[in-house]
Amino acid sequence: MVTERGLQVLQAIVQDYVETREPVGSKSIVDRHAFGVSAATIRNDMALLEDEDLIVAPHTSSGRVPTDKGYRVFVDHLARIRPLSSAQRAAVATFLEGSGDLDDVLTRTVRALTRLTGQVAIVQYPSFSRANVSHVELVDLGGRMLVILVTDTGRVSQRIVMLPDELDETDVAQLRARVSVMITGRSVRDGAQAVTEALAADATPSRLEAGLRTVLYVVGEELEEFRQDRLLMAGAANLAKSEADFRGSIYPLLEAIEEQVTLLRLMSDMVADQEGLAASIGRENEAFGLSEASIVTGDYDVTGARARVGVLGPTRMDYPTNLAAVRAVAHYLSRLLEDDDTSR
């Protein structure tokens, strides 16, 4: 049974190990923390923590380091999430000010978060299956056409398509009208279905119909892209800087970053607390092949769709600081996207 002082010792070990990367001994705890007891008493507390598999000795006669279970107890019961400083908050606001469309906002978000934490920053795109197509624009470029799609959640797609035949202004206006009637005001899911049905139907061979089908193929692909879950990341190079914190290879993490599917599944499975924060630590990620990594996330909202932003790194990470950074960025991102949606 771990005593209250034992939990305070665990907190000290986690904090000191994260700060120094060195195993923590009883004398170090007495010197650095005001427990008011002897090193022998601290050693007894550490023995109880070791019995509970909360700390472990990495080498014979060395100090102790937290286990994954110890980090979990620390995060759930001991960590004090400090708010960001006014300078840090101002830096986030400045970095995100002047953002354009959703892609730009999320790109700036991961860059800001990786600067704040020194970890790999991850942001999940909201699910746009229920978003509505708010605008369609076709711009004639002379033998080519720029196809622009906009949703009511701020997602913008731009694709250039090669046309089978030259079209005049009247043709382009007709194409624009037909595509707009087909998908504008519909959800992304329903719009994609309407495009699929139109492409499956028999068409009268003509220059206009050939152009329409060419455009619809592109529109259908973009709407399907809107429906796909995906991530945006920054700071992968930070893994190399912390490679010493991984007992094995960092290759599984790099592979997960590249493939995305594993991280999407992991982030979807994480259970958030009342503040929308969640942490998955070390061996809790074993089923995903990431048993030496931790991920911390926060929920953000955009037009009723919820998604997550977070950081990925070694289990020896500064959880209170990372949780605070993720929480602040998630809140700022929600407000920014809400204000942007209100202004449209």
What are 173-215's pLDDT values in tens digits?
999 999 999 999 998 889 999 999 999 988 777 888 888 999 9
% of the chain beyond a pLDDT of 70: 96
Token couple for 186:
């519909």
Task: Indicate if the pLDDT at residue 344 is higher than 70.
Answer: no
Q: What phi and psi values does residue 312 have, to the nearest 5 degrees?
A: -125, 135
Task: Indicate if the pLDDT at residue 338 is higher than 80.
Answer: no
Residue ranges, comma separated, of all CATH 1.10.10.10 domains in the chain are 4-78
* Interatomic CA distance for residues 129 and 189, integer angstroms: 5
How would CATH label the architecture of 133-227?
2-Layer Sandwich (3.30)
Task: Indicate if the pLDDT at residue 61 is higher than 80.
Answer: no
Residue 304: which pLDDT band, with cuts at 50, 70 and 90? low
pLDDT at 163: 86
What average pLDDT does the chain have?
Answer: 89
The tens digit of pLDDT for each residue in 117-130 reads: 999 999 998 776 66
> How deeply is 53 buried, as exposed, middle or buried, from its count of CB atoms within 10 A (0-12, 13-18, 19+)?
exposed
Domain 4-78, CATH among 1.20.1250.20, 1.10.10.10, 3.30.750.200, 1.10.357.10: 1.10.10.10
Domain 86-126+230-343, CATH among 3.30.1490.100, 1.10.274.50, 3.30.450.40, 3.50.50.100: 3.30.450.40
pLDDT at 327: 94
pLDDT at 180: 94
pLDDT at 129: 66
- Does residue 91 contact residue 112 with C-beta atoms inside 8 Å? yes
Residue ranges, comma separated, of all CATH 3.30.390.60 domains in the chain are 133-227
* Interatomic CA distance for residues 147 and 138, integer angstroms: 5
Token couple for 63:
């100090």
Lowest mean pLDDT among 88-92, 99-103, 273-277, 317-321: 99-103
pLDDT at 67: 96
Token couple for 153:
């959640």
Residue ranges, comma separated, of all CATH 3.30.450.40 domains in the chain are 86-126+230-343
Average pLDDT over residues 8-25: 95
Residue 82: which pLDDT band, with cuts at 50, 70 and 90? confident
